Each structure stands twice: as C-alpha cells, then as structure tokens.
Amino acid sequence: MTDKYLIVSKKILPDYYEKVIEAKRILEAGKTKSVSEAVKMVGISRSTYYKYKDYVFLPCNSTMGKKALVSLMLEHKRGVLSEVINYLSTVNGNIITINQNIPINNSASVIISLDISDINTTIEEIIVGLKNISGVISGKLMSLE
C-alpha cells in the first residue's frame, strides 16, 4: 500500500486539494445535497472536485491505514456477494459493514467498509482481485483511513 501513496505537507500543495476535501465533508455532513452548492461554498469548480474527489483523503492519526471503503457494482446473480466476502476473508480483510442497494437493470451497488490492518497483500491488489471475481462489474477504492 505504501508504494502508491504519499503523505505530503499541505504547505506545498495547491489549495484546491484541501477545498476538495472540504467539499466532500460538506456533502457527507448533509449541509448541502448538491455538488454544485458544495463546490460553490468552498470556491472550486465542479470539474476540479470530480477530478480529485477519489484521490484526496485525510489521514486519521489513531487508525492510519486500518480502514478502507470499497465500492462495487455486482451482477444480480446468486452467490456473487458471497464470493466477494469469501475473497476478502482469504486476504485477511475484516468486513465492518456491507451496504447493498436493490438490483436495478440486473446489477446492484455495494459499499463495503473493511478493517485492513491484518491484510496479507496491498489494497490495490485486493481491488484487482475483487474485479476478477465473476459477476463483479466494477470496483474501486473510495477512501482509506
């Protein structure tokens, strides 16, 4: 995991990275429901927000590198979610929560929060492994803590 991420002082980064994080906080806190309003509040463009929103995270000092949030789109077939859960078990990922939406157009979105403190591979390899499961349409890392 450490070969793809850096910890960098905010002092040397453009201010829009921090503004993207602030816009994400505003949306998560429910202060506004629209991205347009959130980016207007922090003073960045929608394109800047969408360009960086999946790549900028704040570290948490007490649990650095211990939690991950993964988003998956699964085919509506029996056993696909079970295979995902079994795979995460084989890499020593500990599932904290699973949120699955009802299937629409034969696919369902699933958000899984994981304790990754004991994983035996990198989070990037886990995402690739999840994408290789039959019935997984797409997958991506949403955030790390």
The pLDDT tens digits for 81-96 are 999 999 999 999 999 9
CA torsion through residues 123, 128, 132, 137, sign = positive
**Neighbour-count burial of 65, counting CB atoms closer than 10 A to its CB (0-12 exposed, 13-18 middle, 19+ buried):** middle
62 close to 119: Cβ distance less than 8 angstroms = no
Global pTM reads 0.59
Residue with tokens 């463009």: 45
Strands (E), 63-126: 67-75, 94-100, 107-115
Tokens of 73: 């789109």
107 close to 72: Cβ distance less than 8 angstroms = no
The pLDDT tens digits for 45-78 are 999 999 998 888 876 544 445 899 999 999 999 9
The pLDDT tens digits for 13-48 are 999 999 999 999 999 899 998 999 999 999 999 999
